[in-house]
Homo-oligomer: A and B are copies of this chain.
Amino acid sequence: MAFETGFLEGHLDDEQVTTTADTLESHATDWGTESGTEPDAVVYPAETAEVADVLAAASERGVPVTPYAAGTSLEGNPVPIQGGISMNLTRMDKILAVRPDDLQIDVQPGVMGSEIDPAAGEHGLFLPPLPASADISTIGGMIANAASGMQTVKYGEVADWVLELEVVLADGSIITAGSRAVKSSSGYNLRDLFVGSEGTLGVVTRATLELAGRPAQQRGGRVLFSSLSEATAAVADVVQSGVDVARIELVDALSARMGNAYSGTDLPDLPMVFLEFHADHGIDEVVASCRAVMDAHSPERFELADEAEMDDLWQLRRDLAFAVRAYDPDRQPLHPGDVTVPISEYGPIIEYAKQLGTEHDLLVPCFGHAGDGNVHYTALVDPTDPDQIERGQALYADIVQRAIDVGGTATGEHGIGLGKREYLEAEHGTETVAAMRAVKNALDPSGTLNPGKIFPAGDDWQRADPEEFR
């Protein structure tokens, strides 16, 4: 389906509109998705007014617009499936203001996550919920996909640090959701509705984020356990005991083996828990209380380091995403993703994943933000073997369904995109999804923004006849 995009000439400079083959191709995928279509044009707005102009004109003409930034999402969130316009926001990449007296920063959506802490750090501040991928993802993408990170266990998720958003709706109207007050009960909370809406309800063009003071004390730790069940029980115990951990990450024995191979670490291939602690006072007591809880699970090894040394302890965890890909040249990870469950279900769902790996004779590395009940997992398959792929996909789906069955979510921090559309109703129920659809139709009646995402494939609501809306 090709759309006429010549109208863009009237709204942007020539160099802000690209239709070259390589650019179109590069906007047809993200890091986890190959099933998109190429857009008919890629536009590079430099300011809010241009975003609004393009959206208004596209809505009038029934041309889909799919927001795009770093393209590092996993679920196909910014990938067009009907062509149209890919709206690349990476030129809106300015830090507009830092207000240290209010612990706030104003950013455009194309700012890379990793640019924020250097700017905030000049004032002794930082943005705590940034994901581990902050150096390859934009703040706009994090907001669109409701991202979180290793420090979410202590500080909350990205959404918790968003105070105010400027958003352009499909019809080109510009709204402001939220306020610069840290607490408000004024009108509907549209702000948190736009967070995680994956560019289907509006395009974020400015965000005011809250910042925090850097902790005076930090420690890092690595704990090895003799069994997965001891490791997951230790994590659950730490969370249930309320020990103030800033990070608590699980790595299963298989992931540890992959990590040792990749990072050149010579640790035993055992389940590991990586820890970080932040405090202004009394960090030794916090560490001691964590250790006391962990000791009940007979760790093989408990290593601790201060701020200067802790990066070394963490190397295996830090490299893990690369280690999984590099482990076996003949077996590549299937679509990676995450689920999140209540903490009491954390051990069981990882055991279930391992058991499925055994049943299907596939390697299934599991790791994640354990304190939040988050598991990242995949299956390694031979990409030339349809049977392996099929088994891997079945395994993948079974774990998502299990997460839903135990009260968790199909996607903790990567959104629904294309990859998890089939689970939306399973998780939320038909009537809840109908309410989501009603909200979509209310804010984007022409179906212009990022059609085909989030909702189950084939829903005809996705593109209403644009004639109706002229």
A interface residue numbers (CB < 8 A to B):
99-104, 145-148, 152, 156-157, 159-160, 169, 173-177, 179-190, 192-193, 195-197, 201, 212-213, 236, 239-244, 279-282, 285-286, 289, 340-344, 369, 372-374, 403, 407-416, 420, 423-424, 427-429, 431-436, 438-443, 454
Contact = CB atoms under 8 A, between A and B. Distances in A.
23 contacts: A101-B343, A103-B343, A175-B431, A177-B432, A179-B407, A179-B408, A180-B342, A181-B342, A181-B373, A182-B372, A184-B340, A185-B411, A185-B416, A186-B410, A186-B423, A186-B424, A186-B428, A188-B436, A188-B439, A188-B440, A193-B193, A212-B242, A213-B240
B429 A438 contact: no
B286 A187 contact: no
A246 to B, nearest CB: 14
A434 B184 contact: no
Contacts of A100: 240
A409 B186 contact: yes
Nearest to A423: B186
Nearest to A182: B372
This chain: copies in complex: 2
Contacts of A340: 181-184
Given A148-B183, A185-B196, 8 more contacts: A101-B343, A173-B434, A175-B432, A175-B435, A179-B427, A182-B340, A187-B454, A193-B439
A440 B193 CA distance: 13
A429 B176 contact: yes
A442 B442 CA distance: 6
Contacts of A244: 280
Residue of A175, A179, A240, A428 with most partner-chain B CB within 10 A: A179
A243 to B, nearest CB: 8
A367 to B, nearest CB: 16
Nearest to A427: B186
Contacts of A374: 183
A340 B102 CA distance: 13
A435 B190 contact: yes
Given A281-B289, A427-B186, A442-B438, A102 B179 contact: no
A101 B236 contact: yes
Contacts of A414: 185
A187 B373 contact: no
B429 A175 contact: yes
Contacts of A148: 183, 185
A187 to B, nearest CB: 5
A406 to B, nearest CB: 8
A123 B439 CA distance: 39
**Closest 8 pairs (CB-CB, A-B):** A282-B282, A213-B242, A442-B442, A281-B285, A180-B407, A146-B185, A184-B409, A192-B192
Given A184-B412, A342-B180, A409-B179, A289 B280 contact: yes
